[in-house]
Structure 1
């Protein structure tokens, strides 16, 4: 009994001396109706709380509006210097305080000016003007929004406009029909991931604490940017919104400890109207991610993974090393003992020489052993393209002829 007591006492002393352990995801109860955190590059879900329930999201839906505008610019259908004359419908929104009122005396602005108004000043007038320019009408633009979501696997979204404004806010009739764009925290994360990956230049706008619009300095409502009350290093966007029905919301992006993350909080509880509640909740979520996960490199650009190689026909070499086209990172829980599965899969059984250096040979696939929820946005686990590490020249013509003959005999006779 004495030995047992001493052993137990030693165990308790060791336990007390251990460093403070990070809170588990199940124990992190954010003061929000829905929330999600994902790694922006791989789409790995790092935290979620009721993340797939559709909710009224207000202006957060303009992240999708923003995506379609940048897409039109990249497709040369729109230029940053193009002038846009504001329609009466767009100008009418500028008289609504909840719609992001900005000075709009000129009635005509360039695409770049309107992007600044939208992404720094949260202007609904700018969102609608840009949407009408891209879609021809707001109704047509909303159809484009739905089509884009369908491409990303988001089915049956409830979208009624390009601005995210509540119908009562637009009409000014408190007794009128009340409706609003509805998306889930998961949906918002998917949109933000595509926006940041396809058009990273968006953060040149969203990271600005202030900007000039029509000779007037406008202020970004994202209080986590530099110089703001809730400043946090690394935060570069994305969108703050007050939903009439869904409450206060925030979608943010940041890079912390090598992890590029997207966070979304919907319906944040704000005691006594606390204007900082959404930012405090977001910071708590970011702290959890940084303390719980680590980003590690699987293979560096130009390096093979293990013995990854592809078979070559009629070449001076029978195989070629498959090397990573770019650095390949994964995100794991710190101290995880789960064994990941990483496998190279070639696009085809063999490649006929000559094969040039940089030719795509296949992909390196990562199978995550420790998923949270559905695991990854759009259910896509990380992969990286693997390419030929060097050029394999075609062999001497007599050897090629002989190889053809042997293959014919083996296959036909």
Structure 2
């Protein structure tokens, strides 16, 4: 009986020890994810809230993820009427030669043949066809050299400060048979950080969501019914019905070169939630890069985002700050004016972290003099902003620093006092100052 009791107690102690050791390790693993890639990032596509980041600010090769910028410039040109979908492109010697290199992703383009921009775009978006991409670049800008200038100019406009484009496709310049854009190196390649790639993907989806109508096509035949018919199977095999299918995936762009490794910008939507994931130079558990490795890494990011996060209202509209519900007013009929948050702040957070965030008020100092705001003041006047900060633990912030904030406004009108009232205030202020000065003088005598 004694032995049984001792055995039971020993097993109980061991169970408690196992719980205290195993559970924290599981939590740590969930937090770190340990994505096997040189860089990774997961973002809420709606708000730009970063849910996970791993070496996300390092500049790395992006390969054919480059084509998201080419797609953006194409949609912009069409929107502005500079290019049309049925416009025809006449194949140049450059695009003809590149299209015949079957080591690269390509559809065959015939010398002196004409192709519609819609055909070239579908080949680019579905099959990552490189010569077709160059054809689009030449159509928009005349030469790929000029198009690269537009790409870098747009990158600066978007705040992609670590981006460097040397061609329109993402290929290593060494694959362009000596015809790479002037001013770029013979073996240069496009680079960007995972953060910037995610930002580019979000901007593309925000401004031209119709891109998904093409990127979600798993398979299409180029020039069907002709001798050049080419079966274009989407390189994104996370699409429904494909090898690495994941529920909700409908884009966006793969990328593979020796320099960039196996990379992917994926997007998936479930319910009202859309996520963007970027993995760069993904490898398997043996350190070998592969198509499967990049999709496994993306799957891990999506699983983490969809299972661990939800959109929560952190700060409601009309919220007033403790100790700062109003601002003192000078030269007004009232001595103070109430202030409150204009719009609610909602964002994706770990479901368990809702109480870990607190609002922080940042007043506009340019409107205040010695902490006071001068009348007249209209209702709804912006006097500052509110952001939310995590009280403890890591928070990755937003792709755009301006996101995750709301304006703080006045909730009432305060009219300016008339000249008599202002005169009396001035007199009161004068005697008040005089009295204070006298008291200070008398105190100084003792």
TM-score tier, shorter chain, comes to 0.7 to 0.9
Deviation at 1:119, TM superposition (A): 0.8
Partner Cα distance (1:78, 1:369) in 2: 51
Instruction: State the alpha-carbon separation in 1 of the partners of residues 10 and 257 from structure 2.
Output: 59
Moved more, 403-412 or 364-373: 403-412
Q: Which has the higher contact order (CA 8 A, sep 6+)?
A: 1
Give 1:250 shift: 0.8
Question: 2:215 is matched with which residue: 206, 209, 215?
Answer: 206
Alpha carbons of 1:352 and 1:346: their partners in 2 closer, same or farther (altered >3 Å)? farther
Work out which of the two has the higher radius of gyration on C-alpha atoms and give 1 or 2.
Answer: 2
For 1:409 and 1:136, how far apart are their aligned partners in 2?
A: 72
Q: Secondary structure at the match of 1:252?
A: strand
Residues 169 and 386 of structure 1: is their aligned pair in 2 closer, same or farther, counting only changes over 3 Å?
A: same
Which residue of 271, 276, 279 corresponds with 1:262?
276
| Equivalent in 86, 92, 116 of residue 91 of structure 2 | 86
Q: Does the alignment pair 1:293 with 2:309?
A: yes
Choose the corresponding residue for 1:131, options 129, 133, 137.
Answer: 137
Query: In the alignment, which of 149, 165, 179 is matched to residue 159 of structure 1?
Result: 165
From 336, 352, 360, give the equivalent of 2:353: 336
Which segment is superposed worse, 247-256 or 43-52?
43-52
Equivalent residue, structure 2, for 1:112: 118
Moved more, 247-256 or 84-93: 84-93
What is the match of residue 252 of structure 2?
238
Partners of 2:419 and 2:223 in 1: how far apart? 72
Q: Secondary structure at the match of 1:249?
A: strand
Q: Which residue of 2 aligns with 1:379?
A: 401
Q: Which residue of 2 aligns with 1:224?
A: 238
Question: What is the match of residue 190 of structure 1?
Answer: 199
- C-alpha spacing 1:299/1:110, structure 2 compared with 1 (3 Å): farther
Contact persistence 2:282–2:289 (CA under 8 A): no
Q: Tell me the alpha carbon deviations over residues 160-182 of structure 1, each in whole angstroms, 9 at most, x when there is no partner.
A: 11111112222289xx9432112
Q: Could you tell me how far 1:370 is from its partner in structure 2?
A: 5.8
Q: Deviations over 1:170-210 (max 9, x none)?
A: 2289xx94321122222211211211222222111112212
- 8 Å contact 1:59–1:242 — kept in the other structure? yes
Partner residue, 2:177: 171
Aligned residue number for residue 48 of structure 2: 43
Report if aligned partners of 2:41, 2:54 keep a CA contact under 8 Å in 1: yes
- Compared CA separation, residues 63 and 13, structure 1 to 2 (3 A): closer
Q: Secondary structure of the residue that 2:349 maps to in structure 1?
A: strand
Whether the 8 Å CA contact 2:51–2:349 is kept in 1: the answer is no
